[in-house]
Amino acid sequence: MLFSVLNPNRQRLWRFHGGVHLPDEKALSNAAASVRAPLPAQLVVPLQQHIGAPADVVVKVGERVLKGQMLAKPQGYVSASVHAPSSGVVSAIELRPIPHPSGLRAPCVVIDTDGADAWGELPEPMPDFQQRDPAALRERIRQSGIVGMGGASFPSSVKLNPGPDQPIETLVINGAECEPYITCDDLLMRERAADIVDGIGVMLRIVGAKRCLIGIEDNKPKAIADMREAVVAARGRLGEAADRLRVVEIPTLYPSGGEKQLIRILTGKEVPSHGIPAQIGVVCQNVGTACAVADAVLRGRPLIERYVTVTGRAVAEPRNYRVCIGTPAADLVAASGGYVGELEKLVVGGPMMGFRIDDDALPITKAANCILALTPDESPDPGEPQPCIRCGRCAEACPANLLPQQLYWHARAKDLDKVQDYNLFDCIECGCCAVVCPSHIPLVQYYRYAKTESWAREREKRASEHARERHAAREARLERLERERKARLRKKKEAVAAKGGAGQDAKQAAIKAARERAAQKRAGEQADAGAKPTEEAPESKAPADKVREAKASVDKAPVRKAPVDEVAVDKTAAEKAPRAPNNTGAVAAQPARSPQARPEVRAESQ
């Protein structure tokens, strides 16, 4: 705990685990004021300069655009719009190289500038933001394309919407700028302190925080003084909201500018593993984001430019520039006098968390805060990595309080399940472990590899689960259709059966009625016959009676039984009798007489 009991008005500070002291090298670029970078002949504006879904382009090739005009609208909740940094003609919408660790290409809008730098129509300013609905202010921020300017580029409208179930107590403004060489936030706080404070007032209105703590490292005394003056001067504009602001001077220690580390220093609270600051009642924003919010709400201007540091001993005149988004890095290096000496490495960002690029024609994006040109003396070759000696220095320096040695072993063995058990995704990739490693093992590269592989495996798992769900849904759909088909068939059979039963009943009723009529008719005839008796002649008998009498006479006739010898003789003669020839000359077999044809033989054998 860094707290002086001799000064009770001083903000109480806490200390995070680990951290390292590094040569800041900030004097190279923070001596002179910032200047506006020259407008390039061509701007290359990537459609995805933020975390989340890429923006959906709304302009066409050949269309003339004005400064501030929307080029692409947000696509989805976690997204941000993109605007034209200057006026000109859209010459292409195509894949172009962008500053990214992967080195891959991404969709970009290419604008051939006309030099007029003419503004388009902007939305109405909101000077009365204190009376505006927070949702309207968030929507203005969303439509203005504002993202985190500290490097993560998370859409600010999403971050400023924690939800009703997460009340925000503290708004933390990050002005630490702890990484060596980078001084763009330092110059921004010196030159636009009033705009930063106004932007903080807007964000206080949105999140409803009770206090705001502005953390600045003590190696920026001019920025601290200017920010404190701006807070005092803002009381006339912000009213009681200005009383909730406090500029806090914090010790210089890398990485104090990390979100979780700065929250720990200023509030003493720990952001939970795999959690976000809103879960502990805190929202953290960068000073550059606060300035962009002021431009969007008070002036209607979208985010189309930013402060960029061009530094390193491989450039002639390191300094800070106000740069249009999409400006090639080569133009900034040329504005700084070009390269001098031997260029060992060109980096976007700082020496600790930045990434190397091989081409200085890449455009500046919303997240690019520094172009760093290093000489061989500034970036010496560490040589081949040596085996780990298990000294434990990496664990002592880790600001996330992890076990870098164990993460290294499991990442090297590609044991992704085990590496996640050691909270891989709590690693902020600050590089402290690699700096203090005596074996010069590139530990951060192993962690990035493990994260990339874990994300890829998670995507495959989700795709597989999605396919399984689709298959299950298809099977359920087919079963439902089959049940519906059977139900329709059953209903049809029941309807046919019901209709057929009704017809059968009608037939039976008709037959019964006919029989009754016939019975009545016979009864009438018999009644008439009883009334007039007549004697029938023998020959007038019905044919059926004659048949019955003939059958009875046959049954009473005696059956003659033939002797066995006679039967045998007849059989032998029948066998010896010649067969009659058929039309083909062959002898046709005579059909044998069946036993029924000779009842006397059958009776004798019995």
In CATH, the number for domain 26-114+128-374 is: 3.40.50.11540
Residue 97's alpha-carbon distances to 51, 106, 361, 362, 414, in angstroms, are: 18, 6, 9, 6, 30
Res 241: pLDDT: 87
Q: For the segment 296-320, what is each residue's pLDDT rounded down to a tens digit?
A: 999 999 999 999 999 999 999 999 9
Give the burial string for 114-142 (b: 16+ CB within 10 Å, else e): beeeeeeebeeebeebeebebeebbebbb
C-beta of residue 109 within 8 angstroms of C-beta of residue 72:
yes
Res 603: pLDDT: 38
C-beta of residue 377 within 8 angstroms of C-beta of residue 351:
no
Handedness of CA 294, 297, 301, 302 (dihedral sign): positive
Tell me the CA end-to-end span of the chain in Å, nearest whole number. 129
Res 527: pLDDT: 81
Res 567: pLDDT: 43
CATH 1.10.3210 corresponds to the domain 382-501: no
Rg (CA), the chain: 50
Q: Where are the domains of the chain?
A: 26-114+128-374, 382-501
Res 544: pLDDT: 53
Ranges in the chain, pLDDT < 70:
1-10, 500-504, 530-606
Q: For the segment 556-565, what is each residue's pLDDT rounded down to a tens digit?
A: 555 454 444 4
